[in-house]
Chains A and B, each alone.
Chain A
Amino acid sequence: MSPATQDGRTGVDTGLGDRFKPSNVASGREDVPPLHDILEQTEAHVATRDFSIFYRDNEAVKKITMEIPMRLVTAIIGPSGCGKSTLLRAINRMNDLIPGCHTTGEMRFDGQDIYDKKIDVAILRRRVGMVFQKPNPFPKSIYDNVAYGPRLHGITRHSRLDEIVQRSLVQAALWEEVKDRLDTNGLGLSGGQQQRLCLARALAVDPEILLMDEPTSALDPRATTRIEDLIGELRGSYTIIIVTHNMQQAARVSDLTAFLYEGVLVEYGPTKQLFTKPREKQTEDYITGRFG
């Protein structure tokens, strides 16, 4: 697979967008192609091989080999402590912040091994955005929150910043609610709004991948629905990888699902299939709520 062949991507021209609309998956249509077909028809955006992550001596993620396709929504599920966050955070090297955390094997993004010495982590993180479990806006104004990333990457012209801020907030479906108070503190918003603000902040640097670590676990049901709708809208434009504890959520929003158990990738396949006909006994036990 060659890296980054297409530039101007839009929501529908992947050819897969309609067929794998999450609603289709959930609606129980039977014509779900198997995983290798999907991967054949779209490029792998992130690919790992024998990828392990250690906290000092403790191997939290064990020899995972998987390919995550471009512009689809991939969910990672698994019981608490199985290494979901660890794996997710490895994709934009957030684990670098944790002393003693190191990796073996390889993780490719756009064909490039991101743990290579020559990688510019700043650019990697710009291209791989992240939304965290708890909404974490900076204690700055809404505008400054969204403009933080673009400024970081050298954009200083006001008109350009205004444009980016507006576009990102529109994309995060927050614009209508905050357009009159862009200069108020981001911490003054409600939890759901804060999370959408964080999403806008991540979108403002124009990433290709969005990593979401349980983005709705701190939100109420209505705010959760909004975020899920947003994921549906962003799908097709971004590669979205979402960690969730909520099986219905995974089923609702994702095209593909990976089930992790004690650091091992137990099963990985189209969501519909994984939730209806899991191949592995462990997967079945987990999704039917027998443990975890």
Chain B
Amino acid sequence: MGMKARNLLDRLFSGVGVLAIVVMGLALVLILAPIFSRGAGAYIFKATVEHRRMLLERFERGNAEALAAEAEAVREARAPVYAMLARYAAEDLAGLSGREKREARQRLEEVEDILQELFGPMPGAATPVLPRQQYGATRWDRAEVKLDRLLYVETWDYSDSGSMGQQVLKPRREEFAGTALEPLFGYVETHLEAMLRPEWTFYWGFLTDSSFDAHIFGGIWPELVGTIYLTLGAMVFAVPLGIVSAIYFAEYAQEGRLVSLLRTCVSTLAGVPSIVFGLFGLAFFINTMHVSRSKSVLAGSLTLGMLILPTVIRAAEEAIRAVPHSYKEAAVGLGAGRWRTVVTVILPAALPGILTGTVISMGRAAGETAPIIFTAAVSVGKVLSPWETLTQPTPALSWNIYNLCTEHEAVDEIRHVQFGMAATLVLAVLLLNLVAIIMRARISNKLKG
């Protein structure tokens, strides 16, 4: 082969490698960008007057007087809408009969439903039972979607049987041409801002509020607390056990059959699929040991603890082995026994390394879902007190992300909650890893002197 061809091949080869890394980086960006950008929408968004009303009534936050003034302004802006509805009912609907009347009433009800979703209950109507019907659109982006639904009727055109149906949008105004309701659509379109008064808001309560009505309102506090409980619980089980095991492996074990068997066991444990941990947690901790009657934070923590145990052991052992031999010699030279040496010299010196590994496994425990499905997680629940964790299941960020985007009745209504939850979880986990990375860098700097 000529030199040129060989060099070209060499370039090509390097190019492929670099490409692979670029793809990896791109994948990371492509995954994180939508999660973070749309997740931020759960915290920062244009909130309407309905949002402020909800906050005041449910969480007693906000300025009651300002809100009253706002409500007055909004009522004025909305009044023409309700007047038009009333006129339509009185003038146009009254003039119809039979099937025509039924159809017209149906069309009217559709309009009324959408208006209710936008502005909340009609004036004078009884307060609905479901919270989601007590408030209009709390977010401006949702309000715009609903406005679209108000302005256009969505139909499907199946005339071309060869392909899938085509979506056709028809102005709803045409359905009411010539009636008292016809001006309503134009009016709502132009006056929506006045009727909802959107304002850019930083809703920190998303993190610290409980949710109600199946996450349609409120925040993710119970989920967050549940995740914290589960994670800390897992650490409580895994860290002491893991450190002791690491001490044994690094300082005490004489390499032999038994020790290599134990090592194989630990590394095999690291390869067990997380869902199998879940099954095991159910079969062992709940059905055999009866640590709790059914799912509980305790059972989930134990399961997660087992899951992260190999990671903790490996990190701690590595940290202990990285402690300079000279420290140990110095301590032993002064007459310290093995255990004293470990406790007074080796562990303190290995502590930052152990912490790094611990923090990384904390991130892992916080993000795992499969092991807690059968052992700890429920979809809806309140914030538990510490002793309730021994017996009660809890919602958790990871489980609720799954739950809200697959099993929720109004998946599209709460996209922002799903993204907000996902972003919060990912951010928390990445922050934990960042802490670990910084800690590790500082350790290696220190070892370099």
| A63 is an interface residue with CB less than 8 A from chain B | no
Known contacts A139-B349, A152-B336, A153-B335, A132 near B330 by CB under 8 Å: yes
| B166 is an interface residue with CB less than 8 A from chain A | no
Cβ < 8 Å to B, chain A residues 164-219 = 198, 201-202, 205
Q: Chain B interface: which of A92-100, A258-266, A278-286?
A: A92-100
Chain B hits for A134, CB < 8 A: 326
Chain B hits for A139, CB < 8 A: 327, 348-349
| B340 is an interface residue with CB less than 8 A from chain A | yes
Q: Are B334 and A202 closer than 8 Å at their CB atoms? A: yes
Q: Are B254 and A129 closer than 8 Å at their CB atoms? A: no
Q: Are A122 and B333 closer than 8 Å at their CB atoms? A: no
User: Could you say which of B327, B334, B345, B348 has the most chain A C-beta atoms within 10 Å of its C-beta?
Assistant: B334
B326 touches which of A132, A152, A201 (Cβ 8 Å)? A132
Give the distance in Å from the alpha carbon of A289 to the alpha carbon of B341 in the complex: 42
Per-position 1/0 for B307-333, Cβ under 8 A of A = 000000000000000001011111111
Give the distance in Å from the alpha carbon of A140 to the alpha carbon of B332 in the complex: 16
Give the distance in Å from the alpha carbon of A253 to the alpha carbon of B148 in the complex: 96
| B162 is an interface residue with CB less than 8 A from chain A | no
CB distance from B171 to the nearest CB of A (A): 76
Interface footprint category on B: 10 to 19
Chain A hits for B260, CB < 8 A: none
Q: Are B335 and A148 closer than 8 Å at their CB atoms? A: no
Q: Are B333 and A129 closer than 8 Å at their CB atoms? A: yes
Give the distance in Å from the alpha carbon of A134 to the alpha carbon of B449 in the complex: 14
Q: Are A205 and B254 closer than 8 Å at their CB atoms? A: no
Per-position 1/0 for B241-258, Cβ under 8 A of A = 000000000000010000
CB distance from A270 to the nearest CB of B (A): 29
Give the distance in Å from the alpha carbon of A240 to the alpha carbon of B335 in the complex: 18
Closest A residue to B324 by CB, please name it.
Answer: A136
| A149 is an interface residue with CB less than 8 A from chain B | yes
Give the distance in Å from the alpha carbon of A126 to the alpha carbon of B331 in the complex: 11
Give the distance in Å from the alpha carbon of A202 to the alpha carbon of B332 in the complex: 11
Chain A hits for B344, CB < 8 A: 148, 152
Q: Are A201 and B335 closer than 8 Å at their CB atoms? A: no
Per-position 1/0 for A265-277, Cβ under 8 A of B = 0000000000000
Closest B residue to A123 by CB, please name it.
Answer: B335
Closest B residue to A120 by CB, please name it.
Answer: B335
Q: Are A149 and B327 closer than 8 Å at their CB atoms? A: no
Interface footprint category on A: 20 to 34
User: Could you say which of B254, B326, B332, B335 has the most chain A C-beta atoms within 10 Å of its C-beta?
Assistant: B335
Closest A residue to B345 by CB, please name it.
Answer: A138
A138 touches which of B254, B327, B340 (Cβ 8 Å)? B327
Q: Are A129 and B327 closer than 8 Å at their CB atoms? A: no
CB distance from B95 to the nearest CB of A (A): 92
Q: Are B335 and A136 closer than 8 Å at their CB atoms? A: no
Q: Are A136 and B334 closer than 8 Å at their CB atoms? A: no
Per-position 1/0 for B347-368, Cβ under 8 A of A = 0110000000000000000000
Chain B hits for A121, CB < 8 A: 335
| B337 is an interface residue with CB less than 8 A from chain A | yes
Q: Are B326 and A205 closer than 8 Å at their CB atoms? A: no
Chain A hits for B337, CB < 8 A: 122
Cβ < 8 Å to A, chain B residues 247-284 = 254
A202 touches which of B254, B333, B349 (Cβ 8 Å)? B333
Per-position 1/0 for A120-145, Cβ under 8 A of B = 01111110011010101111100000
Give the distance in Å from the alpha carbon of A139 to the alpha carbon of B327 in the complex: 9
Cβ < 8 Å to A, chain B residues 186-240 = none
A205 touches which of B327, B335, B348 (Cβ 8 Å)? B335
Closest B residue to A124 by CB, please name it.
Answer: B335
CB distance from B341 to the nearest CB of A (A): 10
Chain A hits for B336, CB < 8 A: 122, 152
CB distance from A237 to the nearest CB of B (A): 19
CB distance from B360 to the nearest CB of A (A): 23
Chain B hits for A136, CB < 8 A: 324, 326-327, 329-330
CB distance from B335 to the nearest CB of A (A): 4
Chain A hits for B333, CB < 8 A: 92, 94, 125, 129-130, 132, 202
Give the distance in Å from the alpha carbon of A130 to the alpha carbon of B330 in the complex: 8
Give the distance in Å from the alpha carbon of A33 to the alpha carbon of B147 in the complex: 112
Q: Are A205 and B334 closer than 8 Å at their CB atoms? A: yes
Give the distance in Å from the alpha carbon of A99 to the alpha carbon of B336 in the complex: 18
Closest A residue to B330 by CB, please name it.
Answer: A136
Known contacts A122-B337, A139-B348, A97 near B332 by CB under 8 Å: yes
Chain A hits for B254, CB < 8 A: 99
CB distance from A56 to the nearest CB of B (A): 14
Chain A hits for B340, CB < 8 A: 152
A94 touches which of B324, B332, B349 (Cβ 8 Å)? B332
Chain B hits for A130, CB < 8 A: 329, 333
Known contacts A152-B335, A153-B335, A132 near B327 by CB under 8 Å: no
Known contacts A148-B344, A152-B340, A138 near B332 by CB under 8 Å: no
Give the distance in Å from the alpha carbon of A132 to the alpha carbon of B332 in the complex: 12
Chain B hits for A99, CB < 8 A: 254
CB distance from B20 to the nearest CB of A (A): 41
Closest B residue to A130 by CB, please name it.
Answer: B333
Give the distance in Å from the alpha carbon of A122 to the alpha carbon of B254 in the complex: 21
Cβ < 8 Å to B, chain A residues 62-103 = 92, 94, 97, 99
User: Could you say which of A126, A138, A201, A202 has the most chain B C-beta atoms within 10 Å of its C-beta?
Assistant: A138
Per-position 1/0 for A144-161, Cβ under 8 A of B = 000011001100000000
Q: Are A129 and B334 closer than 8 Å at their CB atoms? A: yes
Chain A hits for B328, CB < 8 A: 97
Interface residues of chain A, those whose CB is within 8 Å of chain B, are: 92, 94, 97, 99, 121-126, 129-130, 132, 134, 136-140, 148-149, 152-153, 198, 201-202, 205
Q: List 15 A-B contacts (CB under 8 A).
A: A94-B333, A97-B328, A122-B335, A122-B336, A124-B335, A125-B332, A125-B333, A130-B333, A134-B326, A136-B324, A136-B330, A152-B336, A152-B344, A153-B335, A202-B334
The 6 closest A-B pairs by CB, nearest first: A136-B326, A125-B335, A130-B333, A126-B335, A149-B334, A122-B335
**Supplied contacts A125-B334, A152-B334, A205-B334, 9 more A-B pairs, CB within 8 Å:** A97-B328, A97-B332, A121-B335, A139-B327, A148-B334, A201-B330, A202-B333, A202-B334, A205-B335
